[in-house]
Structure 1
Amino acid sequence: IVVDDAIVVIENTHRIFENGKVPIAKAAKMAAGEVFLPVFSGTMTTLAPFVPLAFWNSLIGHFMFFLPITLIITLLASLVVAYIINPVFAVDFMKPHVEGEHNNLKFDKTVRKVSIVMAVIAVLAYLINFGLGNFVVFAWVLYMLNHFVFVKWIDKFQNGAWPRFQNWYAGILEKAVRSPWWVLAGIIGLFFLSIVFTAIRSPKVEFFPEADPNFTYVYITMPTGTDQEYTNEVTRKLEQRVADAVEPDKDLVKSIISNVTVGVTDPQDEDQGSYPNRGKIAVAFVKFGEREGKSTKAVLANIRKAVTGVIPGAQISVAQEHGGPPTQKDISIEIAGDDLDTLTKTATRLKNFLIKQNIGGIEELIPDVQDNKPQIVFTVNRERANREGINTGQITQALGATIYGAKAADFRNTTEDNYEINVQAKEEQRHDIDAIRNLKITYRDFATGGAIRQVPISAFTTIEYKNTYSNIKHKQQRRVITLGSNVIPGFNANEVNQQILQSVNNFKKPEGVTIRQGGGQEDQVEAMTFLLSALGVSFMLILIILMMQFNSFGKTFIIISEIFFSIIGVFLGISIFGMTITIVMTGVGIIALAGVVVRNGILLVEFTDLLLEQGMSLHDAVVEAGRTRMTPVILTATAAILGLLPLAVGFNIDFVGLFTSFEPHIHFGGDNVAFWGPLSWTMIFGLAFATIITLIIVPCLYLLRTRLKDRIAGRKHDEYAAVSKEELAALNHH
């Protein structure tokens, strides 16, 4: 995309230069001036779709923020380069082509000089680094291949194959513009056919792309109040089961590490506290390039099978690391209300109800609120405490100091550093309820003349053992309990959530309680809403830019129609190859595609206008414009597609290893292809089809638009009676 402007300017310069018939300096000025407006408008329409993406105000939007910003800055810079730097380079390096100059290539003086210079550079490079020296030698080999081989191939292609291809295309375009209505009807029919075909194929839809796991986590949650030592024993047993499960694929596993109490929550959770009743087992896999084509998703499935349901009373979940922006669980059912007891009972009923529905893909529905958190309640007998001259504040302070400690004094050393001195009960006393009950409160009894007395807490308190709720959450001023679960690999999260929604609609809930789907589904709806609005804003911005350039609704409609018809390629490509539609990346790809595809349409329409102004007939103008602009149209589309292909297929090569040890470590796939693949394939399919639209449909639409305009105005227009392209070429040369 970045080189598109340079391609258009240089190709136009080469066309006008026409092998030295026009001085290169004059040709460069004419070429830059001729395409100034279309190149500027094309760049602005390419930028337009990325402007609303820069204002995506969400976690995903913040994650994607640098994509639109980087593209906007880079494309603006490419515009400056195309207008200023490229014409200067053209004047310096573009030389007339002498026919037959590449037929008898020799190891001449120029080649010898270049070889000597590069040999010296290679020797110096080898002294610095072996890989750097190899790189210089590789550059020399490329130079020699270009001088003795590639230039011959390029010469044959430019003077043989390419002109024949241009003439072939011109013949097809001649037939198309003679039956423009049939061409238009065909493309409209193909548009609806692609929609129907996509509906029949029904590709899977997911919110965000998910790659093979690099890490797999086993989360263990024991009943609240479980001792840390017991949690550690359970975690060790599960760790052994995990080790046994990965034994057949041990070459994929780098390490297995267990945690208890600390670092046991999901890294993306806000809650990163310490929990004695929790544990976590982390399985790290080797790099993608070292897996020899094996999938770690199968290992994750084996781990899940090995640990599920083996520890009674424990909640065990297995998940992979989250790629991309922080997102909530795929399955998240929010139960909101005011009465906490009603909410907990409803959550339990709903969980059991969904289990009975036997919906595939649900790992385990776990509520985020537990009602079995143990606590010890000290109830103060105020009457007795008042008789002793003690208030509840003193009791609370004494208990807090015993269990958590209290500041007793400050210590300052000779360097004037200040240290707090904290005092608390011994550890064995802090964990002994009898010792706490016998804790003596020291106070001064003014009723007996200020004598100092000590009274145990048990003298005026009673103790109760109760269970209470843990971490109660609120949303929009209402209490909320969330049932969350991961989706088992192999199942589609959207399909599972759709089945859950149907079941929830049949669930009888109490008065005052609302049930809705949140989490990943909520994020997905929000993302889809924004992307649709961003597409609408992009469409309006492109419309404004085109209207400012052409001042014609008809010409603007011709170019805008490319956006809709290019989606045919996206639908057909995804459906034919059975790809998955990812809401975020496919959506961003379609929005980006909207700006890219109109660029070539601008070039074609603008050049057709120029030929008509110079006196060429309507028929010849649309055909000649297509034939002339075919080169930059195909070049820009090919450059974009080739640039996207490595991202689409996940092509990886280690250039440092290639030149230092001759081991390039080439492989395909990985995290990048999972993330960027949907966006890349969307743009590749759309651009490939948009190229056909530009070269065939745009000339036909231009012809129909002019005919319709003349008919409305009551003018009779002879499409063939005008200056021929040969006469026009002679006039231009003159």
Structure 2
Amino acid sequence: MNSLIDAAFSRGRAMMILLVMILTFGAVAYVSIPKEANPEVPLPLVYVSTTLDGISPSDAERLLIEPMEAEFGAIEGLEKMSAEATEGFASVQLEFAAGGDIDEALDKVREAADTVQGDLPADATTLNVTEINTALFPIITAVLSGPLPERTLNDIAETVQDELEALPGVLEVDIGGAREEFLEVLIDPTVFQTYNLSFETLTSQLQRNNQLIAAGAIETGGGRIVLKVPGLIENLEDVMAMPVKVDGTTVVTFGDVATVRRTFEDPTGYARIDGQPSLALEVTKRSGANIIDTVAATKQVIDEMRGDWPESLRVTYLQDQSEQVKTLLSDLEANVMAAIMLVMIVIVFALGFRSAILVGLSIPGAFLAGVAIIWAMGYTMNIVVLFALILVVGMLVDGAIVTVELADRRLQEGDSPKTAYAHAAKRMAWPIIASTATTLSVFFPLLFWTGLIGQFMKYLPITVILTLGASLFMALIFIPVLGGVIGRNQPQTARAKAALHAAERGDPRRIPGVTGAYVRLLERAILRPWTTVVLALALLLGGFALYGQFGRGISFFPSVEPEFMQVQVRARDNLSIYERDDLVRKVEDRLVGTGGIESIYARSTMSAGGGEEDVIGTIQLDLVDWQERRTADEIGAEIRTKMADIAGIDVQVETESGGPSSGKPVNLRVSADGFDAQSASVDAVLAAMERVGGFTDVTDTRPLPGVEVAINVDRAEAARFGADVSLLGQAVQLLTQGITVTDYRPPDADGELDVRVRFPNDSRSLSELTNLRVPTSAGLVPISNFVTFEPVERVGVIRRIDEQRVTTIEANVAPGLLVNDQVTALRAELERADLPESASYEFAGEAEDQQESMTFLAIAFVSAIVLMFLILVVQFNSIFQSFVVMSAIVFSIGGVLLGLVITGRPFGIVMGGVGVIALAGIVVNNNIVLIDAYNDLRKEGLSPLEAALRTGAQRLRPVVLTSITTALGLMPMVLGMNINFIGREIVFGAPSTQYWTELSSAIAGGLVIATVLTLVVTPAMLMLREKRDRRSLPSPRPQPAE
């Protein structure tokens, strides 16, 4: 290391040029790096689906789901398999180990899908295999609304879609709420009897008269003549003029027997923004694109197009993530600046302006070097990276402080700047390397954190490792070289000379001021080392006891004040879309005027809620700025109160969750043998939740009650009339969605439109079906001759997890209650509950993630301790001294718990756990500096007592400085404080700080307590194994300076 430092000093100009290049490249990287709020957490999920018209959920489970489960379940690396079977549809969701190669997983799933396809019914569609990725979720939704015709609104939306998808940062734009257009051929049922027509005649005529005919060309002596047969339908008139039947000399056309029109599909949902009909353009960005630039470009394109639109058309932007990103980033950037300023103030006060400039330079140097590498690795700038930068602000200067402080002392002794800084860098190289290594060793295990939480938090150790690694080079290479250039010999005052002489050669008890008072206190402590250690342990145990008595429990992930809310409207009944929309409108109307809501976007639909049958509508609420409204919990409580008296529905409020987890925090999976036993088990669990209390918005995934009509065909009787199931199927389709017979491309449409034949609306009913006469070889025959209608209990969605039918129960917890406390109480209640014999249950969701995180963090903590211990043994070649160094970790944990008691906060599993691990690597640095100095003084021949006192005198300032700078760097986050330098205001409680208050409080509180204790306890513990000289200090004798 000494040769590297000598080489750097001998090439000072090159080092300065290299430093400028690092700063420049880092600045470019910071401006260019993509920015987003939360990290892109890759969900290791693959979704496989297929359809089969008319298949019931039970048959879909047996014929589609079970063969797929058997094949997909053998895929290597599969963690969890969920399946759903519903009317005409089956899907399987495969979850793989987080952090694995998703492309490899997709290849395995596609290969398995090709294999199982042959085991599925022939009419089942080809298995569709897709990846679920959080990067594919919308970054902004542009809602078009106003009193305009539907076709006009659709045309404008499609034009905007094409323009936006041409932007480089946009991956795709989906139009939500749009209905597909088609050409509808309406035929009255009496036509078949009047004109003696069959279903096949109608459909085949349309198909055979809408074909592209390759007629070719004729070669003649006069040239080549191309022949053309216009056979494609081009407009509505072509269908009207198309012949259906020839009766003698009379030609019957579709215009005679049918009404032909262009229209839209039957509504399956309605969308409104603040009461106006609307369409939503959901914009998804490309992976790696800058969210702020992409949203800005999106808005610019829409603003430029608005000049050509009707004045009544309104554009509303919902869930604009770029605003959240800009707010979070600006708040955290302000916190970075505040942390730097606080640290710099302390350094200037302690070391002087010139030394402070040198120490302060290590912050931007290490910052920008780390950001440059993060950018080069393809990562983004997000809240985790920014907090990691705040976390290391105080740590980045630790090495530089120790180096500059020693150089400062050498300058006071008369050394030249170059000699002083070169000596300081060489002398402190290994202590700084050891202390940095111990800090990095606690973050290194966090790189192996699995699961979604691990993928979310991985940016923290990556950023810390890169920036602290860069700070090592700043402290030992760049700062000393620069100090040798700009440093000046320091004239000494008589007081400074006396203090320096006392610390280096004289009696340290006679040093004036704080240092002397500390040395005199230290002497009393180390003369009674057992008493000191026992008192420290008593304080530690007292902290644990206080937390056990007054602690607020534990939480999983910090709760963050949201910017959006969602209201779900649920009803357990067979409702038409019109009935659903009426109920959603009632909720929508009552939401108007609720304080704190900026906009209301409502959707009533037949398939809302991501497959949850009882969700008849969702209402997205954009909230006003958090500073200008009540909390989301208070708004939610008011919404629940307002909706409580609406009969027939259950209104639930969900807020945007912080971090990578999604869904309600309480998630319980119940299974049993048979539907009745499973339903009884769910009822028993719900009753237990009611007895525990504190649960809100409780839902379960049992199928909705309802009635279906089974059409039973007497095949033998049907055959006597020349009919079959296929003929019956056509008749039923004419009564429902119609028969798609062909398609055509009109000149005013971007794509092809289906041509669909069906009965008019007033003839599409169950009573019409019973009276329907179908054309057969025996003539028109009433369908009732061979068909009976039987009402049967409807089977809704069948859900399976890992090849077993499962019912999932989800719930929120009431404000002020902790999820962990509620789950613990529910576990105890379920142990006493009377469940069916075959019933079983397991907690999933947040409880499962919490258990996984606790297990990993415990392993990571032990791994970090082992790594640190090995590093310390290498550094000191002493097992005892290594244990003394690590005693600071125990004291720091006591400080963390005491801080939680004082602030009244629960211990956060993720953030608090990471904080304790990070703290372990930070607090040992002080002990490393103390013991390294103590060992050097002992080698110089000082007695243990004198060496301990002189170590305290010499190292008090750097130890206190490094601890204060680390704690002050985190103080804005501890206090939940944002300093707006431009607006010149201080804001408390911003959402950007709520993520990190637990983590920063754990580090700051533990560090302060541990520093105070270790300054006294560490020297006392060293005395336990040394021969103590209890007599007064020997008379001062000259000692060489360090």
TM bracket (short chain) = 0.7 to 0.9
1:4, 1:427 → 2: CA distance?
Answer: 81
Return the offset for 1:59: 1.6
Structure 2 contact 456–659 (Cα < 8 Å) conserved: yes
Distance 1:577 1:480, change over 3 A: same
Indicate yes or no: 2:650 matched with 1:315.
yes
Letter in 2 for 1:260: S
Name 2:634's counterpart in structure 1. Answer: 298
The question of whether the paired residues in 2 share the 8 Å contact of 1:241 and 1:306 is answered with yes
- Contact conserved, 2:614 with 2:704, CA < 8 A, in 1? no
Kept in 1: contact 2:577–2:606 (CA 8 A)? no
1:371/1:685 CA distance change after superposition, 3 Å = same
**CA-to-aligned-CA distance 1:128-161 (integer Å, 9 cap, x gap):** xxxxxxxxxxxxxxxxxxxxxxxxxxxxxxxxx9
Give the equivalent residue in structure 2 for 1:89. Answer: 482
Gapped runs of 5+ residues in structure 2? 1-394, 495-509
Aligned pairs (5 A) from 1:353-502: 354-355=689-690, 357=691, 359-387=692-720, 392=725, 403=736, 408-409=741-742, 419=752, 421-425=754-758, 428=761, 432-435=765-768, 459-502=785-828
What is aligned with 2:1023?
703
Q: Normalization by structure 1: what TM-score?
A: 0.79
3-state secondary structure, aligned to 1:727: coil
Select the residue among 412, 416, 419 that pairs with 1:23: 416
Secondary structure of residue in 2 paired with 1:379: strand
Map 1:162-561; keep pairs closer than 5 Å.
164-243=513-592, 246=594, 250=595, 252-261=596-605, 264-265=608-609, 271=610, 278-291=616-629, 294-308=630-644, 310-352=645-687, 354-355=689-690, 357=691, 359-387=692-720, 392=725, 403=736, 408-409=741-742, 419=752, 421-425=754-758, 428=761, 432-435=765-768, 459-561=785-887
Percent identity between the aligned chains?
30
* CA shift digits 1:388-415 (9 cap, x unpaired): 566656755775687456654465899x
1:5 pairs with 375, 399, 402, which one?
A: 399
Structure with the higher fraction of residues in helix conformation? 1
Whether the aligned pair in 1 keeps the contact of 2:554 and 2:820 (CA below 8 Å) is yes
More strand per residue: 2
* Cα shift at 1:644: 0.6
Superposed CA offset, 1:399-458 (max 9, x none)? 5687456654465899xx984745353572795334556778778x7xx9xxxx776765
Distance verdict in 2 for CA 1:171–1:718, change over 3 Å: closer
Superposed counterparts of 1:594-609, under 5 Å: 594-609=920-935
Alpha-carbon distance, 1:503 to partner: 2.0
| Equivalent position of 2:310 in the other structure | none
- Residue identity in the other structure for 1:380: V
Deviations 1:160-195 (A, max 9, x none): x99611111111111111111111111111121111
Task: Specify whether residues 326 and 406 from structure 1 end up closer, same or farther in structure 2 by C-alpha distance, changes over 3 A only.
Answer: farther
The residue number in structure 1 matching 2:437 is 44
Question: 1:633 matched to which residue of 2?
Answer: 959
Superposed CA deviations along residues 181-232 of structure 1, whole A, max 9, x for unmatched, are 1111111111211111111113232222213343333211123431222222
For residue 486 of structure 1, report the CA deviation from its aligned partner. Answer: 1.2
Conservation of the 8 A alpha-carbon contact between 1:585 and 1:676: yes
Q: Secondary structure of 1:318's match? A: strand
Q: Normalising to structure 2: TM-score of the pair?
A: 0.57
Q: 1:412 to 1:484 in 2, by over 3 A?
A: closer
Q: How does 1:638-657 map to 2 (within 5 A)?
A: 638-655=964-981
Question: Where does residue 612 of structure 1 map in the other structure?
Answer: 938
Partner Cα distance (1:173, 1:100) in 2 = 27
Aligned 1:713-732 pairs, distance under 5 A: 726-728=1037-1039, 731-732=1040-1041
Q: In the alignment, what sits opposite 1:113?
A: none
C-alpha distance 589-362 of structure 1, shift in aligned 2 (>3 A): same
Tell me the amino acid that sits aligned with residue 502 of structure 1.
A
Secondary structure in 1 aligned to 2:716? helix
Change (3 A) 1:378 1:543: farther
- Given that residues 850 and 909 in structure 2 are in contact (C-alpha distance below 8 angstroms), is that contact kept between their aligned partners in structure 1? yes
Question: Distance in 2 between the 1:682 and 1:353 partners?
Answer: 36
Offset at residue 382 of structure 1 (A)? 3.0
What corresponds to 2:244 in structure 1? none
Note if contact 2:684-2:835 (Cα within 8 Å) is conserved in structure 1.
no
Contact 2:572 2:704 in 1 (8 A): no
- Identify which of structures 1 and 2 has the higher relative contact order when contacts are C-alpha pairs closer than 8 Å and 6+ apart: 1
Aligned residues: 633
Give how far 1:681 is off.
0.7
SS of match in other structure, 1:279: strand
Contact 1:260/1:276 (8 A) holds in 2: no
Q: Is the 2:522–2:949 Cα contact (8 Å) retained in structure 1?
A: yes
Let me know the Cα RMSD of the aligned residues. 3.3
Corresponding residue for 2:215?
A: none
* Other-structure match for 1:119: none
Q: Are the counterparts in 2 of residues 301 and 489 from structure 1 also a CA contact under 8 Å?
A: no
One of 981, 997, 1006 as aligned partner of 1:686: 1006
User: How far did 1:46 drift?
Assistant: 0.9
Aligned residue identity for 2:648: G
Q: Does the aligned pair in 2 maintain the 1:332–1:519 contact within 8 Å?
A: yes
For the Cα contact (< 8 Å) 2:570–2:617, is it kept in 1? yes
Alignment correspondent of 1:145: none
Letter in 1 for 2:956: M
SS of 2:433 mapped into structure 1:
helix
Is residue 671 of structure 1 aligned with residue 991 of structure 2? yes
- Do the aligned partners of 1:215 and 1:283 also contact (CA within 8 Å) in 2? yes
For the 8 Å contact 2:888–2:924, the answer to whether it is kept is yes
User: Letter of the aligned partner of 2:616 in structure 1?
Assistant: R
**Structure 1 unaligned runs (5+)?**
102-160, 266-270, 708-716
Structure 2: distance between partners of 1:431 and 1:189: 83
Contact 1:402 1:424 in 2 (8 A): no
Q: Contact conserved, 2:527 with 2:1030, CA < 8 A, in 1?
A: no
Distance 1:633 1:726 in 2: 26
How has the CA–CA distance of structure 1 residues 546 and 29 changed in structure 2, closer, same or farther, with 3 Å as cutoff?
same
Q: Is the 8 A contact 2:572 2:614 kept in 1?
A: no
- Of stretches 22-31 and 510-519 in structure 1, the one that deviates more from structure 2 is 510-519
C-alpha separation in 1, matches of 2:874 and 2:762: 82
Greater shift, 346-355 or 525-534, is seen at 346-355
